[in-house]
Structure 1
Amino acid sequence: MTDFDDAIALTSAADGTYRGSLSDEWSIGEAVNGGLLMALSTVAVVDAVPEHHAHPLTWSGVFLSPAVPGEVTVAPTVLRTGRTMSTAEVIVRQGDSERFRALVTMGDVSSHAEPVRKHSPMPTFPDVEHCVSASEAPPSALTKSGLLQRFDMRLDPATVGWALGDPSGMGEIRGWIRFADGREPDPLSLLTFLDAFPPVAFDLGSVGWVPTIEFTGYVRAVPAAGWLAIRLRTSTVTGNLLEEDAEVWDSTGRLVAQSRQLASARFAA
């Protein structure tokens, strides 16, 4: 099994819940990555809905407290099963603490992928070999960040000034990503890739952790093998709140996932 598959592995319990284990290898700072939690929780939903509803189509949830390494309990409740889609609520807890709850709609994403009547074209930015690898980040950026070791991440040089203390202020980060161990992307892993890049708030001068308050993601197609291209953008920042829009294209240039989240950021006075 790959690192990702090991991290989202669950065992079923007699009470209808599922048990898993979170590792600090998927942490950023003190918290386990939210994208991994979204994928892990969806595994329980996949097991609860009909087999032909195997892919997440939408995932919308609120993050209530930071998840930490250790045992995790996932409780899915199927709310509706239809011919082409099923919807479930899923709650993730650690001990007495609820980490998040979400609504997940499942289906066969391939049956909704054609024809493409309108789409967001992939932006133009440097090829992989001309982008900056996350492994070249300053040592401080890697502190307590096992998550960065799970991905091969290459950022557009035009959007990495923040890593050198010179954010552009444009509110955009672009680049390429794939799993470091070579695992190919699939609809489930797209939930993790949507939340894998550094927060776009960094390009606006934010410092420190940028926790997600609410996240809504969409899977639009089964991704082709190879690198994924990602663009993060924000257009509105008020006080300490901002939205972050993510778009993911596969190696053929097809848009395969998108998301919007509301996040809280800290800015220097």
Structure 2
Amino acid sequence: MPEAASAPSPSRAVIGDSEFDRDTAVTRREPGVYDIDLSAGWTIFDAVNGGFLLAVLGRALADALPHPDPFTISAHYLTASRPGPAVVRTEAVRTGRTLSTGQASLLQYDDQGNEVERIRVLASYGDLRDLTDDVRTTAAPPAIPPLEQCFGADDAPEPVPGSSAIADRLMLKLDPATLGWALGAPSGKGEMRAWFGLADGRDADPLSLLLAVDALPPTAFEIGLKGWVPTVELTVHVRHRPAPGPLRVSITTRNLAGGFLEEDAEIWDSEDRLVAQSRQLARVSRG
């Protein structure tokens, strides 16, 4: 069992009543069509974070499909999303007794009033409460120092201009062994590890896991690269409802070639269960 994080604030938020819940909430305009005003609070520079967008689409699909929980969700990021009004369109592809499959797109309008698709997903939903307790695995939780020995944005000498909006909404404490890039001495290894939670103390649920897989700094930084690393495609597998408490996130990159890299993520909860896995393909700067 990992060493626990320090006690949360007495005013901690709860699932269903937190900033994350309010900002990912969608309003059903008609069956299969939802409206949302994307908050600037979840941006990295001017673009809305890809994991947050996945949570928005995940919430819409949970409303549109007969099952509550994402089991697997694959997203293709077509254009960068900006804060402001957006529309989510969903379609049920197939519904069954234990699984239902749907697709969804998030769209915005450009300066000329043309509709632009930002992200498209295909997902299968079920009920995580119905899964058996049988686990046979060779996977092991990542070795991360206790939370008080790790470092977050508030430990930096000064914030990166324009990059702190989402950081203010996260409890993100990075393993010092993966922080060489912040000191000008990247290790050259494609590794990033951290404790993760929401800043208002809200516990994790399946939808917030979709945010967590894309919330850490890119592994490209520790490889020695700089600049934005936009996601091309991201697939998440949700394996279990997380227990209360902070999550541990481990991300690795084994191959960078042709200007693209993969990031493989694992998320472990406070009871040492592997609750989510993901793989994404991202593009690295040519500069």
Q: Give TM-score, length-normalised by structure 1.
A: 0.95
The aligned residue for residue 134 of structure 1 is 153
**Residue 87 (structure 1) aligned to one of 98, 101, 115:** 101
**Residue 42 (structure 1) aligned to one of 55, 58, 62:** 58
How far is the alpha carbon of 1:15 from its aligned partner? 5.8
**Does the aligned pair in 2 maintain the 1:11–1:20 contact within 8 Å?**
yes
How far is the alpha carbon of 1:206 from its aligned partner? 1.6
**Does the aligned pair in 2 maintain the 1:113–1:221 contact within 8 Å?**
no
**SS, match of residue 217 in structure 1:** strand
* The 10-residue stretch of structure 1 (54-63 or 111-120) with the greater mean CA deviation from structure 2: 111-120
Matched, 1:220 2:239: yes
Q: Deviations over 1:46-99 (max 9, x none)?
A: 11111xx11000010110000000011000100000110000010110121100
Runs of 4+ in 1 over 6 A off after TM superposition: none
The aligned residue for residue 21 of structure 1 is 37
5 Å-filtered alignment, 1:95-114, equals: 95=109, 96-114=115-133
- Structure 2 Cα separation of the partners of residues 221 and 15 of structure 1: 29
5 Å-filtered alignment, 1:145-164, equals: 145-164=164-183
- Structure 1 Cα separation of the partners of residues 62 and 139 of structure 2: 28
How far is the alpha carbon of 1:30 from its aligned partner? 1.3
5 Å-filtered alignment, 1:158-173, equals: 158-173=177-192
**Does the aligned pair in 2 maintain the 1:119–1:255 contact within 8 Å?**
no
- Structure 2 Cα separation of the partners of residues 205 and 109 of structure 1: 39
The aligned residue for residue 195 of structure 1 is 214
Amino acid at match of 2:30: A
The aligned residue for residue 62 of structure 1 is 76
| Structure 2 unmatched runs, 5+ | 1-16, 110-114
* The 10-residue stretch of structure 1 (89-98 or 138-147) with the greater mean CA deviation from structure 2: 138-147
Matched, 1:208 2:227: yes
Q: Give TM-score, length-normalised by structure 2.
A: 0.90
**Does the aligned pair in 2 maintain the 1:246–1:260 contact within 8 Å?**
yes
Matched, 1:30 2:46: yes
The alpha-carbon distance between structure 1 residues 129 and 77, as it changes in their structure 2 partners (threshold 3 A), is same
- Structure 2 Cα separation of the partners of residues 144 and 174 of structure 1: 19
The alpha-carbon distance between structure 1 residues 200 and 113, as it changes in their structure 2 partners (threshold 3 A), is farther
The alpha-carbon distance between structure 1 residues 8 and 25, as it changes in their structure 2 partners (threshold 3 A), is same
Percent sequence identity is 46
How far is the alpha carbon of 1:18 from its aligned partner? 0.1
- Structure 1 Cα separation of the partners of residues 222 and 102 of structure 2: 36
**Does the aligned pair in 2 maintain the 1:17–1:75 contact within 8 Å?**
yes
The aligned residue for residue 73 of structure 1 is 87
How far is the alpha carbon of 1:242 from its aligned partner? 0.3
- Structure 2 Cα separation of the partners of residues 133 and 263 of structure 1: 24
The alpha-carbon distance between structure 1 residues 267 and 113, as it changes in their structure 2 partners (threshold 3 A), is farther
- Structure 1 Cα separation of the partners of residues 102 and 90 of structure 2: 7
- Structure 1 Cα separation of the partners of residues 125 and 240 of structure 2: 13
How far is the alpha carbon of 1:134 from its aligned partner? 2.2
